[in-house]
């Protein structure tokens, strides 16, 4: 039986890589893609998702429009890193239009799809968690009907990449991250910032990955050029953990949802999100002392099978 995924994205370059990885996996059935604000505006996120599906010849997958802003606070975008449009400012005049979006909203679609497939859907969230927070507010029983939840976001050692102590996806909507980590009781797996950095691939792999003679590889090379340059700047090198390399952050969460053997080391711990700290708002908090008295723990990813990851990424552009 194929694994059923719903993917919630803020499609920038890293989300595009993750979506393409999932689409290239024959054991996976993507039931829907829901879009949110984050790396770029909601409209761009939707357009970018459709562009990815077009190059992969999978415009049959329904795409839904979700939240355009966080629950509270100001809007964050990652335009300096992913380009103003989220895909490296490499426009395509023949890109699909927003008329291809489903009329149903993302939050309603998420609730409906999980209801229709109880216990079967793995939800993968690679952007701010606004859609998920609103969904659980509308349907408090949603988490118990999910098979599992995979999140790219948060941090485990208070290393920030957006604020002093905050990872981008959680900082972009701290209240949503707080709600999700405190309301979702299904098996939950988190691919955090430091984990992604420590499981980087060498840039030499990236060169070989992009050198494949396919339309997908040429598309990825165009949209990834800006981000590759940014990832090798002095500013970015101060943010990352343990040196340079290729970290497709969102792809780790997708790969974990696809293949149980991908994760080789993890730990279980209760977590929450700081909402009030001057320097720590949006930071994920790990409760090793069990002071929060929470029954639900999440699985924090620590190490992965990098050879398996290379194979999955290579296959995604074939």
pLDDT digits 0-9 by tens, 26-76: 999 999 999 999 999 999 999 999 999 999 999 999 999 999 999 997 888
pLDDT digits 0-9 by tens, 85-102: 999 999 899 999 999 999
Task: Check whether 79 has a pLDDT greater than 90.
Answer: no
pLDDT (0 to 100) of residue 235: 66
* Count of Cβ atoms closer than 10 Å to residue 269 Cβ: 16
To which residue do tokens 């118990």 refer?
Answer: 144
pLDDT (0 to 100) of residue 236: 67
Task: Check whether 209 has a pLDDT greater than 70.
Answer: yes
For residue 81, what pLDDT band results from cuts at 50, 70 and 90? confident
**Architecture of domain 3-316 in this structure:** Alpha-Beta Complex (3.90)
Task: Check whether 220 has a pLDDT greater than 70.
Answer: yes
Q: Per the residue annotation, which of 8, 10, 14, 85 is the catalytic one?
A: 10
Q: Give 3-state DSSP helix, strand, coil % of the chain, rounded to 5.
A: 40, 15, 40
pLDDT (0 to 100) of residue 101: 98
Q: What sections of the chain are H helices per DSSP?
A: 13-23, 42-55, 79-82, 106-116, 130-138, 142-145, 168-171, 174-183, 193-198, 203-210, 215-231, 234-239, 249-258, 306-316
10 an active-site residue? yes
pLDDT digits 0-9 by tens, 252-299: 999 999 999 999 999 999 999 999 999 999 999 999 999 999 999 999
Task: Check whether 240 has a pLDDT greater than 80.
Answer: no
pLDDT (0 to 100) of residue 234: 63
Percent of the chain with pLDDT over 90: 87
pLDDT (0 to 100) of residue 73: 78
pLDDT (0 to 100) of residue 82: 83
DSSP result, 183-209? H--S-EEEE-HHHHHHT-B-HHHHHHH
Q: Average pLDDT of the chain? A: 95
d(CA 251, CA 267): 20
């Amino acid at each position: 039986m194929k694994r059923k995924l719903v993917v919630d994205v803020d499609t920038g370059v890293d989300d595009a890589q993750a979506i393409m990885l999932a689409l290239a996996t024959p054991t996976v059935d993507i039931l829907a893609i829901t879009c949110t604000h984050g790396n770029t505006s909601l409209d761009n996120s939707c357009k970018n998702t459709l562009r990815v599906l077009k190059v992969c010849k999978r415009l049959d997958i329904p795409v839904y429009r979700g939240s355009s802003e966080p629950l509270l606070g100001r809007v964050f975008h990652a335009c300096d890193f992913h380009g103003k449009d989220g895909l490296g400012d490499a426009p395509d005049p023949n890109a699909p239009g927003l008329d291809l979006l489903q009329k149903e909203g993302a939050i309603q679609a998420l609730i409906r799809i999980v209801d229709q497939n109880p216990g079967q859907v793995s939800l993968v969230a690679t952007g701010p968690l606004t859609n998920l927070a609103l969904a659980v507010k509308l349907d408090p029983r949603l988490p118990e009907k999910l098979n599992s939840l995979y999140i790219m976001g948060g941090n485990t050692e208070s290393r920030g990449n957006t604020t002093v102590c905050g990872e981008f996806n959680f900082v972009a909507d701290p209240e949503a991250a707080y709600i999700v980590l405190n309301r979702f009781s299904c098996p939950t797996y988190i691919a955090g910032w430091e984990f992604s950095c420590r499981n980087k691939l060498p840039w030499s792999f990236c060169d070989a990955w992009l050198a494949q003679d396919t339309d997908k590889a040429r598309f990825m090379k165009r949209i990834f050029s800006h981000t590759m340059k940014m990832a090798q700047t002095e500013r970015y090198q101060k943010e990352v953990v343990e040196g340079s390399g290729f970290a497709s952050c969102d792809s780790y969460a997708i790969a974990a949802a696809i293949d149980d053997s991908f994760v080789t080391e993890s730990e279980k711990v209760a977590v929450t999100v700081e909402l009030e700290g001057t320097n720590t708002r949006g930071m994920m908090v790990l409760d090793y002392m069990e002071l929060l008295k929470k029954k639900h723990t999440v699985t924090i990813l620590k190490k992965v099978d990098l050879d398996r990851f290379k194979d999955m990424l290579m296959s995604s552009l074939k």
